[in-house]
Amino acid sequence: MDTRGFAATVAKANLTPFKFSRRELRPHDVAFDVAFSGICHSDIHQVNEDWGPSIFPMVPGHEIVGVVTAIGPDVTKFKVGERIGVGTFVDSCRSCEYCLAGNEQYCANGQTGTYNDYERDGATPTYGGYSNNFVVDENYAVHVSETLNFEGTAPLLCAGITLYSPLRHWGATTGKRVGIIGLGGLGHMGVKFSHALGAETTVFSHSPGKEGDALRLGAEHFVVSSDLDEMNALENSFDLIINTVSADIDLTPYVKLLKVDGALVLVGIPGKSFKLNAGLIVPKRRSIAGSNTGGMAELQEMMDFCADHNITSDVEVIASDYIGAAYERTIASDVKYRFVIDASTL
């Protein structure tokens, strides 16, 4: 299948038009026309090799929604004309204890990344959603509600599930106090979900101008992280704090905010090491944890939760010639709150 995409040909390069081919449909494959593709900060990290060597040319994009155009002979999950979504991985080993438990994102043999990776054959590069069409195994795609605004559903496939999964795992609910560090793509979805789950939600931001948006999105409180008086007053008061920041920040002030048994969960991946003093963690049985996207069943559960609660991402829809500017604005924390590429402009 002939495909038009946007690719980085080498590390740190501006993305430019790139033509390639998608595979012929296998029995369980679904082909779809991409409608919208979100820009995740992970795309920028990987183009810039913040996490180590990447595979080029790279077509980024792992927040993909579209409409099914063709199905393989054994497909039962999707019909032509239906909405479909693909997130951060497109395959896994399907046989390890984690895959069998529905935690494909922790596959012992490595999930297959939607881009910047190789298919299970170890040789065929995967190309992501900054493209006009896509082919995916039906088991690694989800249904997307027909009732939600389509462009706002794309970021659910990564930003959405990456916050939904830890909020559910660590029990965000009525009576719990939840903090979200960083009001960007991930953070704004965290606020919406935390609020919808009934938790009392606080945003910690280094951008004072985002207070109004934080409250509009569902937060009860907004704290500018450089305000030490306000930070000190909140010590020992949070059940769960999720760090979505893409840069390496000092975590110590946030550890101090946790109650006994409170957890600080890292989802932002700056690619640098953190330093923490055990004397802050041990006496209050605090946890420092991480969380990686969600499994396929949980991804569908989140999509259905969004349909039930009318939750989508706040997006700025852009044309393909704006990708470079969108990357710069995302790095500058100037995104409200996710850039989404209109695939018809590719």
Candidate list 100, 101, 247, 260; residue touching ligand NAP; CB under 6 A: 247
User: What is the helix (H) or strand (E) element at residue 300, kind and residue range?
Assistant: helix 296-309
Q: How many residues bind ligand NAP (CB under 6 A)?
A: 32
Using CA of residue 278, residue 279, residue 281, residue 283, what is the dihedral sign? Answer: positive
Strands (E) located in 27-166: 29-38, 64-71, 83-86, 89-91, 112-113, 133-137, 142-143
Is-contact 294 165, C-beta < 8 A?
A: yes
| Positions in 285-344 near ligand NAP (CB under 6 A) | 291-293, 330, 333, 335
Interaction partner, residue 173 (Zn ion, ligand NAP, none; CB < 5-8 Å by kind):
none
Nearer to ligand NAP, 68 or 219 (CB): 219
User: What is the C-alpha separation between 296 and 292, in angstroms, rounded?
Assistant: 12
Interaction partner, residue 96 (Zn ion, ligand NAP, none; CB < 5-8 Å by kind):
Zn ion
Instruction: Summarize as ranges the residues that interact with Zn ion (CB under 5 A).
Output: 40, 42, 92-93, 96, 99, 107, 158
User: What is the C-alpha separation between 235 and 228, in angstroms, rounded?
Assistant: 11
Interaction partner, residue 257 (Zn ion, ligand NAP, none; CB < 5-8 Å by kind):
none
User: What is the C-alpha separation between 262 and 282, in angstroms, rounded?
Assistant: 12
User: What is the C-alpha separation between 164 and 143, in angstroms, rounded?
Assistant: 17
Q: Does 48 participate in binding ligand NAP (rule CB under 6 A)?
A: no
Interaction partner, residue 249 (Zn ion, ligand NAP, none; CB < 5-8 Å by kind):
ligand NAP
Paired with 32 in beta bridges are 68, 134
Q: Does 163 participate in binding ligand NAP (rule CB under 6 A)?
A: no
User: What is the C-alpha separation between 298 and 88, in angstroms, rounded?
Assistant: 13
Nearer to ligand NAP, 99 or 157 (CB): 157
User: What is the C-alpha separation between 72 and 40, in angstroms, rounded?
Assistant: 30
Q: Does 83 participate in binding ligand NAP (rule CB under 6 A)?
A: no
Q: Does 231 participate in binding ligand NAP (rule CB under 6 A)?
A: no
Interaction partner, residue 205 (Zn ion, ligand NAP, none; CB < 5-8 Å by kind):
ligand NAP
User: What is the C-alpha separation between 129 and 42, in angstroms, rounded?
Assistant: 13
Angle between helices 296-309 and 185-196 (to 10 degrees): 70
Interaction partner, residue 182 (ligand NAP, Zn ion, none; CB < 5-8 Å by kind):
ligand NAP
Interaction partner, residue 132 (Zn ion, ligand NAP, none; CB < 5-8 Å by kind):
none
User: What is the C-alpha separation between 263 and 172, in angstroms, rounded?
Assistant: 11
Q: Does 183 participate in binding ligand NAP (rule CB under 6 A)?
A: yes
Least distance CB 9 / Zn ion (angstroms):
21
Token readout for 335 is: 């995104």
Least distance CB 6 / Zn ion (angstroms):
16
Q: Does 166 participate in binding ligand NAP (rule CB under 6 A)?
A: no
Quick note: the x/- pattern for ligand NAP over 251-280, rule CB under 6 A, is ----------------xxxx----------
Give the residues lining the site for ligand NAP (CB under 6 A): 40-42, 45, 158-159, 162, 182-187, 205-207, 210, 244-247, 249, 267-270, 291-293, 330, 333, 335
